[in-house]
Amino acid sequence: MIDAGVYPAFSNLHKDGPVHPTNLSSIQERLEQPRRSLSPSRFTDADFLEFQVKDHEAQSHVIILKNILPLILGSSNVPEASEILFTNIKSVPADNFTQLKPDIYDGVDPSNLDANIRNILSRYIEPSKNSSCPCLPNAYIEVKGKNQSPQIGQYQALHDGLIGERAMLKIIQYANNDESPNNAAHTIAAIYHAGDALLTLYTMHAIQRNEHGEQERIGYRQTQLTGFKMDSRQDQWIAGATTLRNAREWAREQHENAVTKAHDAIDPMLDFGNG
């Protein structure tokens, strides 16, 4: 994994940088913005107690997805899909990564991305050939039950972030006609571990590798953004839910901006030729 230039958070800090994305401060500021729907006057003591009980009683992955996660996520109009096997995505250099199947991912409605761009970048931005599945996936949520290892979730978040940031890098490269990474992050990966009620958020940014030899010259660094013990206090639950909801909206802003720029960069002769 590290040999392939994929660096988990806090690892190999003196090799291939920068360690943190150039837009880290703006991401953190965006995630902390308060949400009216999650003010203490709207999320009451009774609501918090309900969450604590449900989280304590959750025994299975299915129950967490059905009963716990909706409380945290609230309503959203971001295109999302659940438990889709990423059969169309090109494999990554690190051979210990298995095929991706995130619990939830957010992306772009395929009808909102030009067909030529989808065809050119398909193996990087289309998780499935199923036309109903969102493409350009750059926000992921994984859940783990009481008896599941946190390390599995961390591994999944690393894989999620890698696939998401590579997708974003490809469409940004298309728009800019430039293969150099800009050292900014555009992807969110979150893990929720039920029982302990731990929510952890990560981001990922592409980097230029210093010594890559025959390996990929582009590498990826993961950064842990923040974490919350959501059953400890009501204000911690509000802070965690606020951060995760804001993170999904931030990721949507990133892929919408990338799509707009990619559409602006389309060669008009391509559209003429397909008319």
For the stretch 192-208, pLDDT in tens is 999 899 999 999 999 98
The more confident residue out of 268 and 209 is 209
- State whether the Cα torsion 88-255-190-223 is positive or negative: positive
Contact 37, 74 (CB under 8 A): yes
CB atoms closer than 10 angstroms to residue 99: 10
pLDDT digits (tens, 9 = 90+) for 9-64: 988 766 666 789 999 999 999 999 999 989 888 899 999 999 999 999 887 889 99
E strand or H helix that includes residue 190:
strand 185-193
Q: What is the mean pLDDT of residues 83-106?
A: 84
Per-residue confidence (pLDDT) for residue 268, from 0 to 100: 58
Residue 213: pLDDT band with limits 50, 70, 90: low
Residue 139: pLDDT band with limits 50, 70, 90: very high
- Non-local CB neighbours of 101 within 8 Å, separated by 6+ positions: 83, 84, 85, 86
User: What is the maximal distance between C-alpha atoms in the chain?
Assistant: 61
pLDDT digits (tens, 9 = 90+) for 152-190: 889 899 999 999 999 999 999 999 987 778 899 999 999
Residue 216: pLDDT band with limits 50, 70, 90: low
What ranges do the domains of the chain cover? 6-273
Give the mean pLDDT of the chain. Answer: 89
Per-residue confidence (pLDDT) for residue 218, from 0 to 100: 87
Q: Is the pLDDT of residue 150 over 60?
A: yes
Per-residue confidence (pLDDT) for residue 96, from 0 to 100: 59
Per-residue confidence (pLDDT) for residue 29, from 0 to 100: 97
Q: What's the CA gap between 173 and 2, in Å, rounded?
A: 24
What's the chain's Rg over C-alpha atoms? 19
Q: What's the CA gap between 125 and 138, in Å, rounded?
A: 9
Q: Is the pLDDT of residue 98 over 50?
A: yes
Amino acid found at 10: F
Q: For residue 248, what are its two tokens?
A: 């999904």
